[in-house]
């Protein structure tokens, strides 16, 4: 075989190997689709509230699971049921990985949403979802910690008084840090994508 052709072949092979090496070393890692908090990631504000079964839920004791937190109320006519329906689709899409994810729905209407009422409400979407309520004082510190705006209006629907509130989804990672948040209307598949990235990171 012509030595010139051999050297050309070797050169092409070297370029291919070099290209693969550079692509591996300098490949841009997948980016999260939610809004990321700055590093070092802040610890999530503690949530300590009594569940419908009388036991106390403490977020700080739940490390090892990703938590998706949404604030709303059971007589909400739009944002809350829509978000919970999307959370059901999300857990369905995750399949076996759903066991590593816990959805929390925390009330902004403690006067009407008892622990029993809010748990019954979220269970309509998925029996594994946790609904939480408490006293005004207990909840105010949690609302403040997550930057939740809340305003009781003088408007009403067939379901009850309208309460304006922040409609953002918060993701707490496996270590209990506030990692990502999502604006209302973000496709739930974006949240699925981010959860799978976080679970892959932990492997």
- Regarding whether 45 and 14 lie in a shared domain, the answer is no
- Regarding whether 39 and 20 lie in a shared domain, the answer is no
Please give the helix or strand (H or E) that residue 3 lies within, else none. helix 3-26
Tell me what the mean pLDDT of segment 26-45 comes to.
Answer: 86
Confidence of residue 8 (pLDDT cuts 50, 70, 90): low
CATH number at residue 89: 3.40.30.10
Residue 16 has pLDDT above 70, yes or no: no
Q: What predicted TM-score, i.e. pTM, was given to this entire model?
A: 0.85
Contact 106, 69 (CB under 8 A): yes
- Output the pLDDT for position 19: 45
Beta partners for residue 162, in sequence order: none
Residue 63 has pLDDT above 50, yes or no: yes
- The residues, ordered by sequence, that sit 6+ positions from 45 with a Cβ below 8 Å of its Cβ are 59, 141, 142, 145, 146, 178
- Regarding whether 25 and 40 lie in a shared domain, the answer is no
Local structure of 140: helix, strand or coil: helix
- Regarding whether 154 and 87 lie in a shared domain, the answer is yes
- Regarding whether 144 and 198 lie in a shared domain, the answer is yes
| Nearest residue to 51 via CA among 124, 130, 107 | 130
- Give the integer Cα–Cα distance in Å for 129 and 103: 5
Tokens found for residue 20 = 């693969």
Residue 2 has pLDDT above 70, yes or no: no
pLDDT, mean over the chain: 90
Q: How far apart are the first and last CA of the chain?
A: 49
Number of folded domains that form the chain? 2
Greatest Cα pair distance, the chain, in angstroms, is 90
- Regarding whether 79 and 5 lie in a shared domain, the answer is no
- Regarding whether 131 and 173 lie in a shared domain, the answer is yes
Query: How many helices and strands (H and E) does the chain possess?
Result: 5, 10
Per residue in 132-170, pLDDT (tens digit) is 999 999 999 999 999 999 999 999 899 999 999 999 999
Per residue in 117-141, pLDDT (tens digit) is 999 999 999 999 999 999 999 999 9
- Regarding whether 104 and 191 lie in a shared domain, the answer is yes
Percent of the chain with pLDDT over 90: 83
- Regarding whether 25 and 101 lie in a shared domain, the answer is no
- Regarding whether 185 and 127 lie in a shared domain, the answer is yes
CA distances (Å), 47 to each of 60, 64, 74, 120, in order? 8, 16, 19, 20
Q: Which of 30-34, 83-87, 96-100, 141-145 has the lowest mean pLDDT?
A: 30-34
Contact 48, 112 (CB under 8 A): no
- The domain containing residue 148 runs over which residues? 35-202
More confident residue, 124 or 14: 124
Confidence of residue 13 (pLDDT cuts 50, 70, 90): low
- Regarding whether 80 and 5 lie in a shared domain, the answer is no
| Nearest residue to 68 via CA among 114, 151, 125, 30 | 125
- Regarding whether 96 and 20 lie in a shared domain, the answer is no
């Amino acid at each position: 075989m012509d030595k010139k052709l051999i050297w050309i072949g070797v050169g092409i092979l070297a370029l291919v190997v070099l290209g693969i090496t550079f692509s591996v070393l300098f490949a841009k890692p997948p980016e999260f689709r939610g809004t990321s908090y700055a590093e070092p990631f802040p610890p999530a504000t503690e949530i300590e509230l009594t569940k419908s079964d009388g036991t106390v839920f403490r977020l700080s004791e739940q490390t090892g699971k990703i938590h998706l937190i949404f604030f709303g109320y059971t007589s909400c006519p739009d944002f809350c049921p829509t978000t919970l329906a999307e959370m059901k689709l999300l857990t369905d899409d995750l399949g076996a990985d759903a066991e590593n994810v816990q959805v929390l729905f925390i009330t902004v209407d403690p006067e009407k949403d008892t622990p029993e009422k809010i748990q019954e409400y979220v269970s309509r979407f998925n029996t594994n979802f946790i609904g939480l309520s408490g006293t005004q004082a207990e909840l105010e510190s949690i609302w403040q910690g997550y930057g939740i705006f809340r305003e009781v209006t003088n408007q009403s629907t067939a379901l009850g008084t309208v309460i304006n509130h922040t409609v953002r989804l918060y993701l707490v990672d496996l270590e209990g840090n506030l990692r990502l948040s999502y604006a209302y209307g973000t496709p739930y598949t974006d949240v699925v994508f981010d959860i799978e990235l976080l679970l892959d990171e932990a492997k």
